[in-house]
Structures are given as structure tokens and as C-alpha cells.
Amino acid sequence: MTDYLPATLRFLQASRQCELNSLRYLLGSGELVGKVSILIHHLQRERGAVHLYLCSEGPQAATELRDREQDALGSQQDVIQFLENTQIPDPSQPQASRLFSSAARVIYALGVLQDTRQQVTVRAIPLVNAAEGFNDAIRHLLSLVFTVSDTPADPVISQALIALFSFMQGKELAGQERAIGARIFSQHTPQTDHQRLAGKIIDLIERQEQHFATFTEFSDPLNRQQWLQMATDSEFERLRRVACTRRSVSDHDASQYWFRLATRRIDDMKRQEDNLQRSLMQLCRERIGAAEQACQRQQADIDTLKNALTDSDSGFSVFMGDGQQVSGWLPGEGLQPRLGQSLLSLLGQQSRRLDAQNQELSGLREALQQRKTVDSAKKLLMQHRQLSEDDAYKTLRQMAMDQNKKIAEIATALLSVAGVFADRS
């Protein structure tokens, strides 16, 4: 049996090393997520400036737009250079294909956005189309973050990534709310559009609450408490109610006022988001340190086993078969009982630890799978019914309410039916 010992120990060490390499890879992924969150924030601010610029004639709006565009372009270049000059995504990782695909969509969407910017500058594009260009770029950036969130095999880091991703989604919806509100309060928006825009505000508020609820479920206690203690601006809430009740506002500065209050709220969210990203990076470093120490301890145990084997009397054998242990002075090369028990203990510890990780990850994977299912159903509705993303989500939500089911259940059923028709075609 001693012939099998080197290979057993080698694969045991390789298992630990793979975990350590995965954690180091996640540290780089966390850096990418941080850069993406900064770019998303700048794009959100630029999108708000676009709304003000296209809804007004003043030079102040033009200056604000140029400043926000420069901020976004600088951050955009930083993300693209990071993708091109680092091993994130790493081609050796099993999830690299999805990450490369997400990165390709991000770069393409940012290229299309540059054309949108040029049309905005000369006021040659409708506001709705301009907003959709920014929404699309941000949507692909969030999809890249989701792809990173969907890959870790470490349950603690997975939970932190889900919390961060959910918060980023909620913050993006808050940015859309800021933009829609600026249109509601603008004197250039026809009164006939107020009811439709008010409905959008109500929907955005509801979806924000859902994403922030997911964030609080998966976040660490400190960041959760910081979020819950964040003060709500009573004046912002008042304007929110005005927007949702479809009332017109006579104050010609109302749009700017709303924009300032909403921006203050989103800037507070960005600080919370930065805290989450720093917590994620620190968590990755801590997990790497713990994994390195575990590797060192395992290596010491393995070295002890090897030394004991070298000094042992090979005449005494221990064999494992059919779930029973047989020992004694038998011919052949086996392991002394204590050595055999030590090796089995190492194998058992590794197996139990990985099983425990898989059990913790199963619940997290379920939450991610529900999100992917809902996204796939939205894309299906967008393609076949020519709906916007918001309208596709509203359709799923209405179907869920009508049937008293969860949105994820409706999405699953919709995809199943679509699959049946696809198979028959």
C-alpha cells in the first residue's frame, strides 16, 4: 500500500492548493469589481447630467455634462486597461469563457455609448434613447459583476459578493429614479407624460426595496447596520410622493432641486458601496491568509507522515477493504495503524470541510440561480414582445401577482414553455 501513499498525499496537497489559487484569483476579481463600481457610478452621474442637459437650455447644464463625461471616460479607460493588462479573467479558470463573454459585451456597449454621447452633445437624440444607451452600458457592467459573483467556491466570499452585487443593483435603480424624477419635475416634460413617468417611479422604488432587502440578508453585520442607520432625507421623500401622485410642479427650479437631493442620496449609497468593496477585499486577504496557514499545517502533517513511514517497520500492515480494517503481521507493504489513522484523518478532514462548504454554497447558488432565471425570462420577453427591460419585469411581476406565485416560479415556467416550442420548431 505504501506505493499509493505519494499519490494520495500529492492529490491531497493539490486540493488545498487549488482552493488557495481560487482565493487569490478572487482578490483580483474583487479589484475588478471595485473599478467597475466606480465606472457605474460615473455613468450614473453622467446619465443624470444628460437628463438635465436635454431638458434645459442653460450653460450650467452643459458644463455639468462635460465634467461628468470626462469623469466617466477616465474611469472607463481604467476598466478596459485592467481587463486587457491583467489575468482577470484568467483563461485557466473554468468560468473564464463566461467572464470573457461578459467583458466583450461591456466593451461593445461602451463603444456604442460613445456614439450616444456625440448625439447628446448636439441634441440630436431623444432623451428616452439617450437614457437607454446609458442603461444598457450599466446593465452589461452589472452583468459582469454578477458573473464574478457566480463563480466563487468559498461561501463566505460568495455571500459578500451577493451582498455587494445586490446593493449595486439597488443603487442603479436609484440612479434611474433620479433621472425619471428630473423629467417629471422639468418644465419641458408634457403634462400627458406625467402619469406614465410616475408609474415608472413607483416601480423603481419597489424594485430598489427588493434589492436592498437581498443586500441586508447577505451582508455582514457591520455593513448591514451602517445601511439601516443611514438617515432618510425627509425632503427627498416629500418630492418622491409628489412625483408618485402625478402632480405637476410650478417651481421652475424643481428639477434641479430634485436632482441635488437624489444625488446626495446616491452619493451616500456610493460610500456604502465603497465600504462593501473594501470589506470584500479585506475578506479575500483574510481567507487567503487562513488558507495559506492551513496549507502549511497540512504540509507539516504530511511531512510527519512521510518521516514516520520512512522509520516504520514495513512488516506490520493495515489494509482497508469493504469498510473493514484488517491488521496484523501480514506479508506485504502496508501502513502502521497510527500512520493509517493519521492519513485517514487528513482525508476525512478535507472531505468534511469541502462537504460543509458545498452545503453553505447550495443556498447561495439557489439565490443566484433565481436571479439568472428571472433575467433569462426578461430577455425572452424583450426579444419576442419587443419590450423594454422595465416592461419585461413588470410583465413577469403582474403574471406572478395574478397567479399568486413568486416571480422566479413564473420565470421558470415561461422558460420551460419556450423550451418546448423551441424543441418543436
Query: CA-to-CA distance for 115 and 282, rounded, in angstroms?
Result: 39
Res 69: pLDDT: 96
Buried b (16+ CB within 10 A) or exposed e, 167-190: bbbbbbbbbbbbbbbbbbbbeebe
Angle at CA of residue 285, ends 97 and 170, nearest 5°? 65
The DSSP string of 306-371 is HHHHHHS-TTEEEEEETTEEEEEE-SS----HHHHHHHHHHHHHHHHHHHHHHHHHHHHHHHHHHH
Res 208: pLDDT: 92
37 pLDDT higher than 90: yes
Q: Per-residue pLDDT averaged across 386-409, rounded?
A: 82
Higher-scoring residue by pLDDT: 119, 8: 119
Q: Which three cell numbers stand for residue 213?
A: 432587502
Res 400: pLDDT: 84
Res 76: pLDDT: 95
List pLDDT tens digits, range 346-358. Answer: 777 767 766 766 6
Res 100: pLDDT: 86
List pLDDT tens digits, range 80-93. Answer: 998 888 766 666 66
Percentages of the chain per state (helix, strand, coil), in multiples of 5: 80, 5, 15
Res 331: pLDDT: 40
Res 77: pLDDT: 95
Residue 318 φ/ψ, nearest 5 degrees: -130, 125
125 pLDDT higher than 80: yes
Q: Which three cell numbers stand for residue 293?
A: 496557514
Least confident piece of the model among 3-7, 8-12, 208-212, 370-374: 3-7
Res 210: pLDDT: 87
Res 136: pLDDT: 93
Query: CA-to-CA distance for 110 and 138, rounded, in angstroms?
Result: 9
Res 361: pLDDT: 63
Q: Tell me what the pLDDT averaged over the chain comes to.
A: 80
What confidence tier does 372 reach under pLDDT thresholds 50, 70, 90? confident
What confidence tier does 270 reach under pLDDT thresholds 50, 70, 90? very high
Q: Per-residue pLDDT averaged across 400-414, rounded?
A: 83
Q: Per-residue pLDDT averaged across 142-155, rounded?
A: 78
List pLDDT tens digits, range 193-206. Answer: 878 888 889 889 98
Res 345: pLDDT: 72
Higher-scoring residue by pLDDT: 420, 307: 307
Neighbours of 225 (CB within 10 A): 12
Res 425: pLDDT: 46
Q: What is the DSSP letter of 1?
A: -
Higher-scoring residue by pLDDT: 372, 283: 283
169 pLDDT higher than 90: yes
Q: Which three cell numbers stand for residue 170?
A: 439597488
